[in-house]
Amino acid sequence: MIDRRIKFRHIQCFVEICREQSFKQAAEKLFLTQPAISKTLKELEEILSASLLIRSRGGVALTPQGEVFLHFAEMSLAALQQGLSGVDQVGSQGRTLLSVGALPSVAARLMPAVAQAFHELAPNTDLRILDGPHGFLVDRLRLGELDLVIGRLGRPETMQGITFTQLYEERVEFVVRAGHPLLQVPDVQRIGDWQVIYPSQGSAIRPLVERFLIAHGVGEIPNRLETVSGAFGRVYTRQTDAVWIISAGVVANEVADGYLVALPFDTDITRGPVGLMQRPEETPSPQAQVFRLAVDAGLNRLGLAG
């Protein structure tokens, strides 16, 4: 864990002393006095409990610990400068557009927090969000109609030519309306006694659901309605006795509010990675890089960060 006592001024002073090979010249470049820059270096060495530099008449020399720390300190400054440049580009290009695809579970759970954070970080960029099933969004990504997609990792054949960076894991849940008869004696074997809202063919979660049902000895479900529409499922499940099989993120808000209830089935077998997808041949635009920062902020806000 990074020691919170280390400040930007510590890194900046240390790197500048190494570059100039002189406390005096480093102080002049940073518009500081020599005593001030010496004090800053001493603070850094005390925090690290290590000597970083040796002063001599010929200038300064790095200790072994100093050589290691300089390597990462320079990387940190370079990354910060890249970030500042990215922010400057985002702000100087006038209004720009970033198009992002979000699978239903992401659109309902994560994207509201991400959109809010992105608006604060890049107020001059319009965010266009398109939701839909996995295959549809990935195809739009390949065609260049979307800049990024966030959703579950698909089957290998659907991920050809797409890079995937995992953000968190999510499982499938079986949800019903409050007061549903199945809540009295929860039994996965009985779900076929009611209509089941089942994931569509080609959806990312369908193979996981089928594996779960096979593992629990559930045979063919005679009365099922296939869809991954969150808008339809939320309304239909609350108005009927249907059992909805869906990713937890799609119904997280409704379950938290008590409108829907997750049946107490152990569905860990359906857990799978949710991540960021993009075209591998492209260097992320400044807007896309800022969006990733917004994603991290959204994950932290929802407690989903790993």
CATH number reported for the structural domain that contains residue 39 in this entry: 1.10.10.10
Q: How far apart are alpha carbons 216 and 160 in whole angstroms?
A: 32
Domain C-terminal end among 23, 57, 92: 92
Are 26 and 48 in a shared domain? yes
- How many residues would you count in the chain? 306
Asked if residue 217 is part of any domain, the answer here is: yes
* Owner of token pair 């499938």: 172
**Residues 71 and 82 placed together within one structural domain of the fold:** yes
Task: Flag whether 3 is in a domain.
Answer: no
Please say which residue of 43, 63, 92 terminates a domain.
92
At 60 the pLDDT is 85
Number of domain units in the chain: 3
CB-based contact 130:123 (threshold 8 Å): no
Q: Say yes or no: 155 and 284 in one domain.
A: yes
Domain that holds residue 222: 172-270
C-alpha span between 282 and 236 (Å, rounded): 41
> Helix or strand or coil: residue 113?
helix
In this predicted structure, what is the pLDDT of residue 242? 96
Torsion of CA 207, 211, 217, 220, to 10 degrees: 10
- Segments in the chain forming alpha helices (H): 8-20, 23-29, 34-48, 64-92, 104-109, 111-121, 134-142, 206-215, 230-239, 252-257, 286-302
- Is the pLDDT reported for residue 88 higher than 60? no
- pLDDT at residue 94, as a whole number: 58
Is 275 or 73 the better-scoring residue by pLDDT?
Answer: 275
- The proportion of the chain whose per-residue pLDDT surpasses 90, expressed as a percent, equals 42
8 Å CB contact between 255 and 262: yes
Does the structure show a pLDDT above 90 at 27? Answer: no
pLDDT (mean) for 49-74: 83
Confidence of residue 219 (pLDDT cuts 50, 70, 90): confident
Would the pLDDT of 84 be above 70? no
Q: What does the DSSP 8-state code read for residue 242?
A: P
Q: Which residues pair with 53 in a beta bridge?
A: 62
Same domain, 166 and 205: no
3-class secondary-structure state, position 129:
strand
What local confidence, expressed as pLDDT, does residue 284 receive?
79
59: left (phi over 0), alpha (psi -120 to 50) or beta: left
Is the same domain home to 213 and 136? no
Are residue 108 and residue 77 in the same domain, yes or no? no
Distance from C-alpha of 185 to C-alpha of 263, rounded to nearest angstrom = 10
pLDDT of residue 269: 93
Q: Identify whether residues 253 and 176 lie together within a single domain.
A: yes
Given 92, 108, 136, the domain boundary residue is 92
Q: What is the pLDDT of residues 107-131, one digit of tens each?
A: 888 999 999 999 988 888 899 999 8
One domain for residues 235 and 180? yes
Tokens of 213: 């049902």
Mean pLDDT for the chain overall:
87
Give residue 128's pLDDT.
94
pLDDT tens digits along 140-182: 998 889 999 999 988 888 888 899 999 999 999 999 999 999 9
Do the Cβ atoms of 225 and 197 come closer than 8 Å? yes
Question: pLDDT tens digits, residue range 235-275?
Answer: 999 999 999 999 999 999 999 999 999 999 999 999 999 99
Quick check: 196 and 222 in contact, CB under 8 A? no
What percent of the chain lies above the pLDDT cut of 70?
A: 92
Residues 199 and 165 placed together within one structural domain of the fold: no
* Same domain assignment for residues 254 and 181: yes
Contact 151, 103 (CB under 8 A): yes
Whether residue 263 sits in one domain with residue 178: yes
Q: Output the domain CATH number for residue 129.
A: 3.40.190.10
Q: Assess if residue 17 is contained within a domain.
A: yes
Does a structural domain hold residue 1? no
Q: How far apart are CA 256 and CA 175, in angstroms?
A: 12
Shared domain for 144 and 32, answered yes or no, is no
Q: Which helix (H) or strand (E) holds 98?
A: strand 96-102
141 found inside a domain: yes
Edge-to-edge order in the sheet of strand 163-170: 125-131, 96-102, 148-152, 272-278, 163-170
Cβ contact 200:228 at 8 Å: yes
Domain presence at residue 2: no
